[in-house]
Amino acid sequence: MVFLMKVTSSDLGPVLGFALESSKKVLIKDIIKNENSTISLNIIGCWDQEYAIRVAKDIGISVTYNENISLLNKTIERIDASQKLYVTDFQVCPEMLSTFSKIDKFFLAHPFRWLIFVEKQDVDFFINIDILIASNVVLAINDSPNDGNDMVVFKLQQVYKIKEFSTILRVENFGNWNQTHGLTDERSNKIISSRRKNMFGEQMTLVVLTIDNHTYGYFYNKKNKEYDPTMRMLYILNNIIMDTFNCTKRFTLTQRIGYDETGIWVGTYGNLINNHADLCLTPFFVLIERLPVIDYLDTLTPFVGYFIFRAPSLSSVANIYFLPFSRMVWISFGVSAVICTVSIFILIKWEEKITTRESRSNFTDVVLLTTSAICQMGADIQTKFVSSRLLIFFLFITFVFVYTSFTASIVGLLQSSTKSIQTLNDLLNSKIELGIEDNLYTRYYIGQTNDPVRLEIYNKKIAPPGQEPRFYDRQTGVAMMRNSSFAFFGEPRPIYREIQQTFFEEEKCGLNQMEYLEIIEPYQAVQKNSPIKEMAKVAIMKLREYAITKVEIDRILTSKPICAVGNGQRFESVSLESFYVSWLNFHVE
């Protein structure tokens, strides 16, 4: 709090009376103790500097003295403003009231705190001053009884106006102070944003960015949820906030976000910056260039875009014909085939040597025998010795089990998807094509990056040189994602709704999403130094704390579809790409 005081005479005793002079010092001390957050006084006008220093010394606190209200500097006073108490005394110099009416409303807004000594007849004068709903201005009104004794009593009131041009001055009872009992705090709650939630029907203007022309027509119901569902959900939540404030709502619609060609603020920004709207229903991304002109509150809903895609088939990223067995198993099969081939050849040659066989077999015949066993074909080599027959029998039995296991695994792998795409670099190097949902914010933000991977994605897969940028409406993008290897960027929940309505159950399995934008979730915004900033921020937090936000999100927006089909019930067609490796066996140079 800051107290601004100026004394026209160095001797205040004759003017104030000793009891009144001492009581003011004690009152200031009691208020500082009650608030428990003040480390310095700022005394401006009405008391001379020597007296102001003496007051601060008696209280035991540091002091800053300004002779005139016009000398206040925004940059300096903003520093630790919540820990200062500004004091002024219009009981001593009532002629300074006219000067005080010209004070910049910046110094009367949160978090500045004031204690002002006034007479009863001067209270109505503050209707001409921009003491708005978030202000913390305490009037200390001399309410001493006129019964001849020296009892000093101050009635403490806090005054404010709902809107800047309001003609009604609202009065809150802070408490009272007297010499016997000291300060009595009668406030129901010390937190201003908790006490001043009633705006008594004053009009609040909300600016709404509508992406779809059908949006406003469906604000008041939950039909046709495909039309701008995020804005409709934000409308519902902001409506709840405004209802808690007991205000009259007025909506301004716009289809523009920010700058126009001449650099003038228009659209949603323009309405806030030019004081045409109190609150923006549409959330904004937090950017450095916006900080000087608007204030951010809190995030009300998830609004970050993702690349959403169906996990590609395993055969499109790997050679599935080597995946059924591990590397060591393949080596074991090869070694076994070689050992069996050599052993059979030796036994056949030994048999030919000690018997009179009419047919003679060479090594290539034995290799062909092993190949026939691996491919589950017959063999034309006939032996008479039990040892060679047992070895050939063992060879065929072994590769029957190998063949059975291999084909069973291949069937499963042909129906499998891969989890190999986990990063943007994986997405860049994959065969998946990319597309972006065509709306205002994606066209602006999708290329705003200095990250080399994201830049390469944008230049190679989103907006290749010499080609049209790949922006699609939601229906087209989801259809491409269903029918091809395609990743679609946009708000996930509206995309999931389109998927829920158009995909078969088995097609809803294997959906992945990947974050792309290098920005945090967008925040609700208000005018710079808006008096409703703290009230609205607390209201947003309460909606989230009470789970009202979650309930409304679930009512309007669609969550990620659940894969309700088991692996054994799923069927996906096999493309020629799956047989690419096997086709290579027939390739002839």
pLDDT digits (tens, 9 = 90+) for 198-256: 899 999 999 888 776 666 666 666 677 777 777 888 888 888 999 989 999 998 888 77
Q: Coil, strand, or helix at residue 586? A: coil
Helix and strand element counts for the chain (H, E): 19, 18
Number of domain units in the chain: 4
Residue 370 in domain: yes
Rounded-to-integer distance, Cα 118 and Cα 411, Å = 89
Burial class (CB in 10 A: 0-12, 13-18, 19+), 117: buried
**Of 145, 176, 192, which marks where a domain is finished?**
192
Quick one: CA dihedral 49, 54, 59, 63, positive or negative?
positive
pLDDT tens readout for residues 29-71: 888 888 887 778 888 877 777 878 888 888 888 888 887 777 7
Helices of type H across 488-562:
492-502, 533-545, 548-556
Q: Which pLDDT belongs to residue 8? A: 36
Rounded-to-integer distance, Cα 209 and Cα 258, Å = 11
State the angle between helix axes of 229-244 and 492-502 in degrees (0 to 180), rounded to the nearest 10: 130
Residue 11 has pLDDT above 80, yes or no: no
In terms of domains, do 183 and 42 share one? yes
Q: What is the DSSP letter of 579?
A: G
pLDDT tens readout for residues 327-337: 898 888 888 88
Residue 250 in domain: yes
Phi and psi angles of residue 185, each rounded to the nearest 5 degrees, phi first:
-90, 115
Q: Are 437 and 495 in contact (CB under 8 A)?
A: yes
Specify the amino acid at residue 212: D
In terms of domains, do 202 and 83 share one? no
Range of the domain at 445: 304-310+418-520
In terms of domains, do 396 and 265 share one? no
Concatenate the DSSP letters of all residues of 359-383 into one string. S---HHHHHHHHHHHHTT-------
The pLDDT-based confidence of 581 (bands split at 50, 70, 90) is: low
pTM recorded for the entire structure:
0.73
The pLDDT-based confidence of 568 (bands split at 50, 70, 90) is: very low
Residue 528 has pLDDT above 90, yes or no: no
pLDDT tens readout for residues 275-306: 889 998 888 888 787 888 889 998 887 777 88
Name the nearest CA neighbour of 412 among 567, 578, 564: 567
Q: Are 279 and 206 in contact (CB under 8 A)?
A: yes
53-67, 267-281, 484-498 — which is least confidently predicted? 53-67
In terms of domains, do 284 and 375 share one? no
In terms of domains, do 174 and 234 share one? no
Residue 577 in domain: no
Q: Which pLDDT belongs to residue 141? A: 92
Q: Which pLDDT belongs to residue 360? A: 67
Q: Which pLDDT belongs to residue 161? A: 92
**Of 384, 415, 446, which marks where a domain is finished?**
415
The set of residues, in sequence order, having a beta carbon less than 8 Å from that of 362 and lying 6+ positions away, is: none
Q: Please report, for residues 171, 319, 325, 422, the alpha-carbon distance to residue 312 in angstroms, rounded to integers and kept in the order given.
A: 66, 14, 21, 12
The set of residues, in sequence order, having a beta carbon less than 8 Å from that of 62 and lying 6+ positions away, is: 39, 40, 41, 56
**Of 464, 498, 520, which marks where a domain is finished?**
520
Residue 108 sits in a domain whose CATH number is: 3.40.50
pLDDT tens readout for residues 166-212: 889 999 999 999 888 889 999 988 888 888 888 999 999 998 887 76
The set of residues, in sequence order, having a beta carbon less than 8 Å from that of 277 and lying 6+ positions away, is: 205, 206, 207, 252, 271, 527
Residue 570 in domain: no
Q: What is the DSSP letter of 311?
A: P
In terms of domains, do 52 and 165 share one? yes
In terms of domains, do 430 and 376 share one? no
pLDDT tens readout for residues 361-417: 788 888 888 888 888 787 777 777 788 888 888 888 888 888 888 888 877 777 677
Answer whether the bond into residue 111 is a cis peptide, omega within 30°.
yes
Q: Which residue's structure tokens are 């027509």?
A: 217
Name the nearest CA neighbour of 225 among 522, 533, 460, 556: 556
Strand order in the sheet with 523-527: 248-254, 203-209, 279-284, 523-527, 294-296
The set of residues, in sequence order, having a beta carbon less than 8 Å from that of 29 and lying 6+ positions away, is: 58, 59
Residue 588 in domain: no
Pick the residue with more confidence: 222 or 427?
A: 427
Q: Coil, strand, or helix at residue 182? A: strand
| pLDDT (mean) for 535-552 | 90
In terms of domains, do 236 and 94 share one? no
Residue 321 in domain: no
The secondary element (H helix, E strand) that includes residue 441 is helix 440-445
Rounded-to-integer distance, Cα 8 and Cα 23, Å = 19
In terms of domains, do 238 and 253 share one? yes
Residue 10 in domain: no
Residue 226 sits in a domain whose CATH number is: 3.40.190.10
In terms of domains, do 345 and 488 share one? no
Q: Which pLDDT belongs to residue 422? A: 86
Residue 4 has pLDDT above 50, yes or no: no
The set of residues, in sequence order, having a beta carbon less than 8 Å from that of 95 and lying 6+ positions away, is: none
Rounded-to-integer distance, Cα 187 and Cα 192, Å = 10
In terms of domains, do 40 and 65 share one? yes
Rounded-to-integer distance, Cα 315 and Cα 321, Å = 9
- The pairing of strands 40-44 and 84-89 is parallel
In terms of domains, do 350 and 489 share one? no
The set of residues, in sequence order, having a beta carbon less than 8 Å from that of 374 and lying 6+ positions away, is: 337, 399, 402, 403
The pLDDT-based confidence of 147 (bands split at 50, 70, 90) is: low
Q: Coil, strand, or helix at residue 546? A: coil
Q: Which pLDDT belongs to residue 330? A: 86
Rounded-to-integer distance, Cα 278 and Cα 530, Å = 8
Q: Which pLDDT belongs to residue 488? A: 94
Residue 68 in domain: yes
